[in-house]
Amino acid sequence: MATATTLAIAGGAAALGFYWFSSKRFNGKDAPSVGRYPMIGSLRHLPEPMYLSLYERFGTEPIVRVYFGTQCVYVFNRWSAFKEAMVDNAEQLSGRQSQTLAASVFGDIGGIVMSDGEIWREYRRFTLKTLRDFGFGRRGAEEIIAVETDHLHRSIEAAAGAPMDTTVLMSSAASNIICQLVFGSRLASEDPYFHELLDVFHKISQAGSSNITQSVVLSVLAVVDRLPMLLPLLKLLPSTSVTLANFKKLHDYCCQQRDKHAAEMEKVDRAKDYIEAHLQHQNIRPELFNDTRLAMAVTELFLAGTDTTANTLRWAILFMIENPDVADKVYEEIVEKIGRERLPTMQDRSVLHYTQAAIEEVHRRASLVPLGVLHRITSDITVSGVPLKADSICAFNVYSIHHDPELFSEPTKFLPERHLKDSQFVPCPHLATFGLGRRACLGESLARMELFVFFSALMQRYRFSLDPQDSRTLWDLTEDPEIFKGNSIRTPAAHKIIFSYRA
């Protein structure tokens, strides 16, 4: 207890000193500020969820300053600023925030999402090439998705019309696609460890995303980078310790898979999955590719490829319940163009224009990752007339961009027609779902394949309805600000769905 108290006092004193330092350095006179209090920053000025508060208060401002404790974060609030930053200044916006904490737990830091510099460039290049070799974004991946679609249908049929928890249902399908690409095999849904992994994915995606948690963590990280002896203080935070424990569970499982593949490598000449390809690459460039970085890359692939796809599908089902006329149009198009006897394939995109438009509108309305992933500016730049210093932290208010009335008329309405021209699907030029520029999501093509095939296959067979035993309304599940306390992934409230065969 005495040690914890001493660390807290020392950390508080260091944070106070850093507050003074940062207030001098980040005068931010050219960007409007939310306002802040010493030490706690903008917390009192921004009711949760933060992305919604910023949208409602600063929707017309291209860039807004928000203080997470002592840490200044520049939030890009408009499409113009977002595009200028991520396309015109892609190199300068490619950095990531401090990895001091993760490095203290896992040792070396590599991977695809949270690294930067040479490690990030090499891992992104390697990952894209490797996954393409295994059918990533092509026929091979579509065959894997078809297998998971069949398992999805079997699970729904086994429920025999009983209400189903869509979190488990959709996460199982999405994560098993990653399993096959990364491990070379799928995990059985009845495997208890598989469900434990799904629970870990969900907890990690939602942990530590409230305003107060982000304020504390970013403040202490800013201090720890300059005073590393205070690192134990950050590990004492309850939210941090729980998140690290969950990361370690997933990390340990990835290490087990790595060891299993390494033991079998002598028996094969050609890599059949991501892990084997990485192990072969370690022999070529051992100075850059190692076991710890492999485990981190696999961990990131799972996190990025499971919760996002699963929750987009959950949103899609709820939007279809809310807009039955849209659901009927999607169904009628599918039946007219491809019938009910075979599963939809990616080749069907050329004729399923309204279906694609509905999926595009799901991306816009759901705004699944409303503040994106934090970026670090690597050198001084100016965006939308605002000077931004090197090592500043940036976030992107995707929700605000997707609900800008200047870009989308009646932005709160679900209107697939806004993505059609002369009845032909036209990809929306202002969607930030998968990012832009150098840091754009490398899994975009796979995610789009999964969403198209899963959504089309579900719409081809079923009507959706809420559990009649649940007294909550659709607004309670999808709009109530109370369910969006975190800002990492915007998920609907827990609910169950009844899948009924269409006549």
* Binding-site annotation, residues for heme: 441
Q: Which residue has the tokens 């089309």?
A: 456
In the chain, count H helices and then E strands.
18, 11
Helices (H), 287-430: 291-322, 324-338, 353-366, 398-402
In whole angstroms, what is the distance from residue 191 CA to residue 212 CA? 37
Q: Rounded to an integer, what distance in angstroms lies between the CA atom of residue 185 and that of residue 182?
A: 8
Residue located via tokens 């987009």: 312
Instruction: List the one residue out of 230, 182, 106 whose CA is nearest residue 446.
Output: 182
Question: How do beta strands 393-396 and 71-76 pair?
Answer: parallel
Alpha carbon distance 236, 231 (integer Å): 9
SS3 136: coil
Burial class of residue 296 in the structure, from the number of CB atoms within 10 Å of its CB (0-12 exposed, 13-18 middle, 19+ buried): buried
Q: How far apart are CA 498 and CA 503, in angstroms?
A: 15
Tell me the two tokens of residue 495: 């609910």
Answer whether 212's CB lies under 8 Å from 46's CB. Answer: no
Tell me the C-alpha distance between 278 and 125, whole Å. Answer: 12
Q: CA-to-CA distance for 145 and 309, rounded, in angstroms?
A: 12
* Residues flagged as binding site: 441
Cα distances (Å, whole numbers) of residue 21 to 24, 42, 223, 226, 382: 5, 17, 11, 12, 22
Whole-number Å distance between alpha carbons of 181 and 179:
6
Per-residue tokens: 260: 């299993």
Coil vs helix vs strand at 56: helix
- How far apart are alpha carbons 438 and 92 in whole angstroms? 10
**Nearest of 439, 428, 314 to residue 372 by alpha carbon:** 439
> Among 194, 207, 192, which residue's Cα sits nearest to residue 245?
207
Report residue 200: phi and psi, to 5°: -65, -45
Per-residue DSSP letters for 177-227? HHHHHHTSSPPPTT-HHHHHHHHHHHHHHHTT-SHHHHHHHHHHHHHHHH-
> What angle do helix axes 291-322 and 324-338 make, rounded to 10 degrees?
110
Cis preceding linkage at 47, omega within 30: no
Q: How far apart are CA 50 and CA 66, in angstroms?
A: 10
